[in-house]
Structure 1
């Protein structure tokens, strides 16, 4: 699955740093449209992840659902390149994110069930390293292709199909071995069995997510500072390299120190980077801040899902991870739409002040709502408050782990 993530992110990240420029310079879209498209696409991805996670738990099928998602995401790439208006690209981008969402929760459930609990952080860190390594290589490949005189910006979208199909091929080698649990009778049947701590975690995620808008605004900020397209793509590649390098160590440390501590660190890094992007006019400092932001990306991606997996019972693992991701996506949609309006009507720095504000709110929420000891393969330290691990409903005999 880590190798599949490597290939699929090569495919996706060949396009991501090109998309804002393609939208604004080729298709004539505004900053508000960029925020709308990326926010809606991300929300679609994460809502699909919630639905596919619940479906995966109900059917006890991981591989087949994931395989469909990988294929749809690969197919969407050339469709984006064929677009002649932002509305056409919007439709293809939605297909891409729906496919990505459909595959993600079943994939994460496969990963969570493939290792013992005390190594779960490392498992997600390994997959995150593959994902972010692909995100490092994808922009490099795009920059190399764009340096060739015969390759135009649309050609990048067509060529991205190749690594996308390689990812599909890798999934064919995966063994589908879901937990031996009773399937739920309907998609929402397990929601009442989520523990209180899981819902508090979703609330923290939502509060922080209100300021976590699309990375497209970081790319536009670099372009505004005078960086060339190729230099921006190369810097974006370095950003993803940092995220790849930190993913596995972050997962390992979360197994030792707990998820809460690592998640708090990622929130603080996001706050520092947001303030830096808001305040700085320095053409040298902005690239440095962008690379620092990669630390947040690498830590939060693996730790966020690992903690969601920790806080739910095994038979609802894909559902729990899926609805965590749905929360991330919905609030990133709101954040991206707001950021687009701030970018167009108030000022570019306002986007990043908004991110810093909600980072502070998220940090406070994390400290207040998630007690010390949350994570590390456990719902919460039993010596502190074992009742916090109990489900909201008492209709089921088996408590959550």
Structure 2
């Protein structure tokens, strides 16, 4: 009996929506925490460079460790187990982060939360990619990302409310995030029981191998996939983390610490709108929709690192729009470039390349911010200009073929 035979509630779109609720709840957890990472670390004595390094290292861990978790998922075919394990690590790390008063412990927990994302993401994206084969890659991943951002909106607002009530108490603000974490894990177990093999959503389900070594016969990753990864790595190298943005807002007294999560929530709303718009566009015009990403990324520091509240807020919203493209359309392109049998490996390698870029970007923007905001804006603009040139070259080569 196929997945489609088990009931209308498990159609591809409903699978995406239920998985989206899981992601909504977990975004409630970790985006709530990320919205105050900069001010929390600063309260423990961190400099802008430390904030940039830690948040950059966290993103590097979230991306780079997928070099291991992606191939592991393809070898073992334990997509559900890895997805659940990764979500569990995040659900535990965030509440504990609010209990520590030691800087190095807090830094380790920030990175640990991102490690949870590394464990689950290739497996989770592969599970979702099967359903999006029939709904449309761009639309399917965009709807999932938009639902993510509902949680990413609620989480920071909840944290802001608790901070306001407790007069800046980070412990209670992060402690309440344990509730949606538990709910997400419960729903994830239910979804696994209902749809144990989402690969059956594919128009032509991939053959089931006799054992873990069955992937040896799988086709190699296409060259276009690696070229595409190079473009995204360049644009990510010039992308500032929200940790540095929030550090600037609080250090320059542009926003109070308890208002930073509110701004982050606004950025997540912009993320959702951007994901839906670019996902729709991608299904119609293909990778040309990605031209907007370097443009948005270059605009972020030019706006966010000013001394104007209005411009800084605009910069944070533009940051959210760029993240929406990164989290939805970039993933959709990978699913279109790579055969199903190698998709988790492809997501892992792709994220690993971006992890190096994220670490470089976090460290670069943090260090340049400590030296000169003008220099930071100029360097990021140059990097994003190079990304646009690379994208144009890649499109030209694709057209020539």
TM-score of Structure 1 vs Structure 2, range by shorter chain? 0.7 to 0.9
Q: TM-score, normalised by structure 2?
A: 0.86
1:334-392 deviations in whole A, cap 9, x for unaligned? Answer: 12122222222x123433333222111111111112348xxxxxxx67xx52xxxxxxx
Q: C-alpha separation between the residues in 2 aligned to 1:210 and 1:245?
A: 24
Q: Structure 2: which 5+ runs fail to align? A: 1-18, 200-204
Q: Closer, same or farther in 2 for the Cα pair 1:229/1:84, shift >3 Å?
A: closer
Report whether the alignment pairs 1:357 with 2:357. no
Distance 1:370 1:82 in 2: 49
Please name the residue that 1:17 is paired with.
35
Residue in structure 1 matching 2:265, options 229, 237, 246: 237
Q: CA deviation at 1:40?
A: 1.2
Distance 1:170 1:40 in 2: 30
The structure 2 residue matched to 1:268, chosen from 280, 295, 300, is 295
Residue 176 to residue 54, structure 1, CA distance change in 2 (3 Å): farther
RMSD: 2.3
Aligned partner of 1:194 in structure 2 is 221
SS of alignment partner, residue 206 of structure 1: helix
User: Aligned equivalents of 2:196 and 2:208: distance in 1?
Assistant: 16
Cross-structure match for 1:145: 162
Partner residue in 2 for 1:252: 280
**Residues 353 and 166 of structure 1: is their aligned pair in 2 closer, same or farther, counting only changes over 3 Å?**
farther
Alignment counterpart, residue 119 of structure 2, candidates 82, 93, 102: 102
Q: 1:190 to 1:142 in 2, by over 3 A?
A: farther
Alignment of 1:1-400 (within 5 A): 1-25=19-43, 27-116=44-133, 119-149=136-166, 152-174=169-191, 175-177=195-197, 178=199, 179-181=205-207, 193-223=220-250, 224=252, 226-258=254-286, 260-277=287-304, 280-344=306-370, 346-371=371-396, 385=401
Judged with a 3 Å threshold, the aligned counterparts in structure 2 of structure 1 residues 94 and 110 are, in CA distance, closer, same or farther, namely same
CA contact (8 A) 1:128 1:298 kept: yes
Give deviations 1:27-72, integer Å, cap 9, x for gaps: 1111111111111111111122232221111122211110111111
Query: What is the rounded CA distance, in whole Å, between the counterparts of 1:137 and 1:150 in structure 2?
Result: 20
Structure with higher helix content: 2
Instruction: For 2:229 and 2:130, locate their aligned partners in 1 and report how far apart those are by CA, in whole Å.
Output: 22
CA distance in 2, matches of 1:273, 1:42: 18
Pair 20,190 (structure 1): closer, same or farther in 2 beyond 3 Å: farther
Moved more, 248-257 or 124-133: 248-257
In the TM superposition, residue 139 of structure 1 has moved relative to its aligned partner by 0.9
Pair 1:180–1:87, CA change in 2 (3 A): same
Alpha-carbon distance in structure 2 between the residues aligned to 1:217 and 1:349: 15
Label 1:293 to 1:151 Cα distance change in 2 as closer, same or farther (>3 A). Answer: closer
Unaligned runs of at least 5 residues, structure 1: 373-379, 386-401
- Tell me if structure 2 keeps the 8 A contact 1:57–1:315: yes
- Using a 3 Å threshold, how does the CA distance of structure 1 residues 249 and 190 change in structure 2: closer, same or farther? farther
Count of aligned positions:
372
Task: Report if the CA contact (8 A) 1:200-1:370 is conserved.
Answer: no
The structure-2 alpha-carbon separation of the partners of 1:192 and 1:119, relative to structure 1 and needing over 3 Å to count, comes to closer
| d(CA) in 2 for partners of 1:368, 1:226 | 41
